[in-house]
Amino acid sequence: MARAKDWLVAALVLLLGRRTRTVRAGAPRLVPKRETDDRAERVALLLLGLSSVCAVAFIVVYALDRLPAQTQLLGLALGLSLLALAAALIVTGKRLVPEEELADDYPPEEHPAEQDDVEQLVDEGVDGISRRRLLKLGLVGAGGALGLAVITPALSFGPFFRVRELVVTPWRSGRRLVDEAGRPLRAAELEEKTLYTAFPEGADDEQQGSPLVLVRLPRQELDLPPELAGYDAEGIVAYSKICTHAGCAVSLYRTPLFPPTEPHPALVCPCHYSTFDPARGGRVVFGPAGRPLPMLPLEIDGKGYLRAKGNFDGPVGPSWWGVRNRKAGS
Amino acid sequence: MIRGAVRFLDQRTGTAPFLRKTLRYLFPDHWSFLLGEVALYAFIVLVATGIYLTFFFVDSTHQVVYHGPYLPLRGQRMSEAYRSVLDLSVSVKAGLLIRQTHHWAANVFLAAIILHLFRIFFTGAYRKPRDLTYYIGVTMLALALLEGFMGYSLVDDLMSGMGLFIAYAVGLSIPFVGANVMAGLFGGPFPGTESFWPRLYMAHVLLFPVLIGTLLTVHLILVALRHHTQFRRRQAETERTVVGVPLWPGQTPRSLGLMIGVAGVLFLLGGLVQINPIWLWGPFHTYVSTNGAQPDWYLGWLIGALRLVPGWDLEIGGYTVVPNPFWGGVAFPLLVIGFLYLWPWIERRLTGDHGFHNILDRPRDAARRTAIGVAVVTLVLIVLVAGSSDRATVLFGISYDSQVWLYRVLVFVGPVVAGLVAYRVCVELQRGEAVEHERHRAEGEARRAALRPQRTGRPS
């Protein structure tokens, strides 16, 4: 009991006891004195206490296992702890320290004498050298060569010059079309007004040249350009799924629910809304794409499975300076 | 104790005179001078939370199957990178808080930088002797945009993969070198080889933060060497005399309070406001994409630009020399950033003013600068809003195509109109002030005139 009283007295002394002090007695003050603001001191103290409580709450919430909304509680505790501390500091800045507004000179705009000195110093350090121009040239040469040498290992990043890989696709004549699970696709299971994704059997799905979008259109609606005649298989058309604009997967299929407003079915890329016409060889009908979607010729084998009849009619993926419009990749 | 510490330091570094001066370094007081500070503090939070995240992140695109506690993705194929962020978000205690705070801090960092840029631009603070400070600031803005993009690309969720593919396509579109540079960086055509992810990671956690941190240091040293600019509110504030609050004791608690306050707000956001819930997007695969994908706000102007450009490729002899993404993804941002770099020079040419300036203009004082600035901001803002037109289609049912056509017209009309309006407003404000000034002068004169006969006429 006596111990508790001692503690209480000590706490009260800490809370209520005050002292002001001066470092150099007698010397003129450098900072003007501010009237003690009792209320503001108490507010700051309270805020610091709140900050401590919230910080402890953060530790407690962390220690408790698998609370619901633990992230929210942690953020709340830490955020409030920091904000209370910030508020205490702002109160200190606004109410407890002297308010001063002082004037000072901006630094001089320039130092002409020192500028001259610097120039002279640099010059006089090397003015005994007779072939200065030649030496300077040599220095630039050595610096340049060394610079080149130092950045040469960056070429190991490579392959900088094997850009032909950009147009390679795994599609070959006779290769079967499979779905994401690797199951071969039968022509008969493809319905109209639905978008299917297909891959070359046994190839890497992640390769740009692999994924296809497949749609079945009524044959009378097909209006393929002459060079793509026969690319469809009973109205099923296949295009590269990689948008020729910026590479996103063309995964939206706009089918005309309201013929007056949306007359044609269209394949749409959700990134920048390049819109392609599947009935007309993947022609761009809207949006930023500059090339049609590359089309893959299809056939149906004896068992009803879909197979490629060759490679795409043009390079797959976003354009680059070496891409020719409508030219087959290898 | 203080005495001991100062003596220790001074005897070893001789910096007591410097310390004494530094403590009385003056900060002119205006709320807008704090925007740059907010950016600095957001950067500190970014570094602190980012370091924590590196201890959990795995920089590998090696494909694994997920067996963790988040049921909807169990059994799915994903990269180790995505799995590590998923684990960080659902399994590591406080991991989600730190990750979301990091993401929020990035958004606030960019917002603060851009608002700070507006303040610098519209008050003419970039003029000599602070043009170097300004160029470094613009460079940091460009680096911060890339740094933020790389940050959310690293996660390898569906959104980040789509964004990265777009960035790859934009790089690819650079005439004559694009394909080589991208093949070099990615190690082959997108999605590239497994060597790419460590490169992206090192760029995000080492190269760019160090670059930004270094430039930030130089930026601050330059500010301190030349002292802050100030508005002219009183006679005391002149081109030669800076008026403000000293670092100690006035400014220190305020700045510390602001720093800790920024951190507090960011942790509140990180805890309470969900951002980038990557478990909902799922892992990225080349052949997957989703509708309604949007980048972080500060890249909205780039997706907008990519969407607005009509389907033009520059073809020569059948070759696509300049593919389409170049216009929106390279030319447009270069134009905007280039304008920022060139503007101080352009203004010097226009006005012939090569002088030193410590006193800031109010926006109205430089009507031409304000008009041009407003026009450029309007242009970028329209393009940014255009980037969200697909959302407007979903939310309000407005046809996407007609929105795009509207924006295609607006990007030309909007800036001109906004610039002219801004100019007009500035001129009117100037005129209003001149009238007010004249009235004050006339009133003063009248008062003096009214007093004069009394004073002189009074019999003495």
Q: What number of residues does chain A have?
A: 330
- The predicted structure's pLDDT at residue A329: 37
From A141's Cα to the closest Cα of chain B, the distance in A is 26
Residue B242 confidence class, pLDDT cut points 50, 70, 90: very high
Q: How does the average pLDDT of chain A come out, rounded?
A: 90
The Cα–Cα gap between A133 and A129 comes to 10
Q: Give the lowest-confidence range in A17-21, A37-41, A173-177.
A: A17-21
Domain A167-308 architecture:
3-layer Sandwich (2.102)
From A146's Cα to the closest Cα of chain B, the distance in A is 22
Residue B345 pLDDT > 70: yes
Query: Is A38 at the interface with chain B, CB within 8 A?
Result: no
- The predicted structure's pLDDT at residue A28: 87
Q: Are B84 and B157 in contact (CB under 8 A)?
A: no
Residue B432 pLDDT > 90: yes
For A271, which of B227, B265, B289 is closest by C-beta distance? B289
Residue of chain B whose Cα is closest to the Cα of A86 = B257
For B246, which of A73, A100, A249 is closest by C-beta distance? A100
Q: ipTM, 2 decimals?
A: 0.92
Each domain of chain B, given as residue ranges in start order, spans 2-288+297-308
- The predicted structure's pLDDT at residue B460: 46
- The predicted structure's pLDDT at residue B313: 86
Tens digit of each residue's pLDDT (9 = 90 or more) over B144-188: 999 999 999 999 999 999 999 999 999 999 999 999 999 999 988
- The predicted structure's pLDDT at residue B2: 87
Residue B458 pLDDT > 70: no
Tens digit of each residue's pLDDT (9 = 90 or more) over B198-228: 999 999 999 999 999 999 999 999 999 999 9
Give the predicted TM-score (pTM) of the model: 0.93
Residue A85 to residue B260, Cβ atoms within 8 A: yes
More confident residue, A110 or B453: A110
Tens digit of each residue's pLDDT (9 = 90 or more) over B248-265: 999 999 999 999 999 999
Residue A21 confidence class, pLDDT cut points 50, 70, 90: low
Residue B354 confidence class, pLDDT cut points 50, 70, 90: very high
Provide the 3-class DSSP secondary structure of residue B417.
Answer: helix
E strands present in chain A: 102-105, 177-178, 196-200, 212-216, 236-240, 252-254, 266-268, 275-277, 283-286, 295-296, 298-300, 306-308
Tens digit of each residue's pLDDT (9 = 90 or more) over A81-99: 999 999 999 999 999 999 8
CATH classification code of B2-288+297-308: 1.20.810.10
Tens digit of each residue's pLDDT (9 = 90 or more) over A44-70: 999 999 999 999 999 999 999 877 899
Tens digit of each residue's pLDDT (9 = 90 or more) over B293-317: 889 999 999 999 999 999 888 888 8
Tens digit of each residue's pLDDT (9 = 90 or more) over B10-26: 999 999 999 999 999 99
- The predicted structure's pLDDT at residue A262: 66
- The predicted structure's pLDDT at residue A154: 87
Residues 190-209 of A with CB under 8 A from B: 197, 199, 205-208
Residue B94 to residue A81, Cβ atoms within 8 A: no
Q: Give the lowest-confidence range in A215-224, B197-206, B227-236, B358-367.
A: B227-236
From B392's Cα to the closest Cα of chain A, the distance in A is 14
The Cα–Cα gap between B104 and B268 comes to 10
Q: Which residues are registered as beta bridge partners of A239?
A: A213, A295
- With a pLDDT cut of 90, the percent of chain B lying above it is 83
Calculate the CA dihedral of residues A112, A114, A118, A119 and round it to 10 degrees: 30
Residue A320 to residue B246, Cβ atoms within 8 A: no
- The predicted structure's pLDDT at residue B455: 53
* Mean pLDDT, residues B117-144 taken together: 97
The H-assigned helical ranges of B246-320 are 252-272, 278-281, 300-308
Each domain of chain A, given as residue ranges in start order, spans 35-98, 167-308
Q: Are B264 and A83 in contact (CB under 8 A)?
A: yes
Q: How is residue B428 written in tokens?
A: 């009117």
Residue B9 pLDDT > 90: yes
Residue B320 pLDDT > 70: yes
